[in-house]
Amino acid sequence: MSGGGARSLALHGGVLALLLALHFVLPAYHHGNLARIMVLASYAIGYNILFGYTGLLSLGHALFFAAGMYGMGLAMRHAGLGPGPALAAGLAAGLAVSAAMGLLALRTAGVAFMIVTLMFAQAGYLALLYFGAWTRGDEGFVIQQAERILWGIDLSDPGNRYLAALALFALCLLATLWLVERPFGKVLVAIRENEERARMLGYNVFAYKLGAVILSGTVSAAAGAAYGLLFGYVGATFASVQYSIFPLLWVLLGGAGTVLGPLIGTLFMFYLIDLSSGVTSAYMLVAGVVLVLVTLFAPQGLAGLLRARLWRWLP
């Protein structure tokens, strides 16, 4: 392993160790917040695969997050499946939806791709509202505590929920770290930097981009399914436009194309809104101003700034 690879593995392993240590010392409020942040950061990791590493700007990722959440939730509510098979159903739903959307949306490029993904996500959101008899629409439905026991572990317990969120995040983080060092990940970066040159070198650009969409959508669906199971609620709000915008903001703030960027961006944005909402009702204005300042003075995001100034080996 190269020196940069060893340092990268040590850094990311240290972050995971820190998150594990925080489980034992954080007060209840921040303990619950961090569990939620880790699940949402896993969602942002899925988005980062498509946007940060492949260069495809999607405004429809809420469709994948909701596909995982509803695939899991409806399987438990209407098919009577347990948490394990229901999570598998959520992953299968995310994979199927991302494959279908990828095959259609990748016929376009640039702004057209962005608009098409937004249209698909809106169609999914409206479908959830239309079939409210099954989905409960905006009202959503609660997954009872007795149903949230996986392999004998009660996931409604705050401690177990935190560790489950950490396990999901660690899996997504380490998988991304592995991906960016593999030929597939390097081809995605090549497509991001110069798609025509990648095509001239003989790579099947469409196949790689489709693979990126499917991988990104499946990771996002895993986060959606986990969110519904860990926090016991499934609702159409998670399919709305704001949940397509959130991962874009998290990745931009943290640093697109960096492995740690999604966590940094999600953590930063979550607590920025949380703290500013306790001071003023115009907390979104505060968040907007800070976002503009970060974009102006750290256009590569916070992790991108660290990579440019300190750790050039940061993946």
- How much is the pLDDT for 160? 94
Q: Is residue 250 part of a domain?
A: no
- How much is the pLDDT for 281? 82
| Percent of residues, the chain, with pLDDT higher than 70 | 97
Q: Is residue 79 part of a domain?
A: yes
Confidence of residue 140 (pLDDT cuts 50, 70, 90): confident
Provide mean pLDDT across the span 59-80: 93
Residue 273 has pLDDT above 70, yes or no: yes
Residue among 56, 44, 96, 94 at smallest CA distance from 206? 56
- How much is the pLDDT for 313? 67
What pLDDT digit, counting tens, does each position of 174-203 carry?
A: 999 999 889 999 999 999 999 999 999 999
Confidence of residue 4 (pLDDT cuts 50, 70, 90): low
The tally of domains found in the chain comes to 1
Residue 111 has pLDDT above 70, yes or no: yes
Q: Is residue 274 part of a domain?
A: no
Q: Is residue 270 part of a domain?
A: no
Residue ranges making up the domain that contains 79:
18-241
Confidence of residue 9 (pLDDT cuts 50, 70, 90): confident
Residue corresponding to tokens 């650009």:
205
Q: Is residue 170 part of a domain?
A: yes
Higher per-residue confidence, 262 vs 4:
262
Q: Is residue 35 part of a domain?
A: yes
Lowest mean pLDDT among 6-10, 142-146, 160-164, 269-273: 6-10
Q: Is residue 286 part of a domain?
A: no
Lowest mean pLDDT among 85-94, 109-118, 303-312: 303-312
Q: What is the mean pLDDT of the chain?
A: 90
Q: Is residue 237 part of a domain?
A: yes
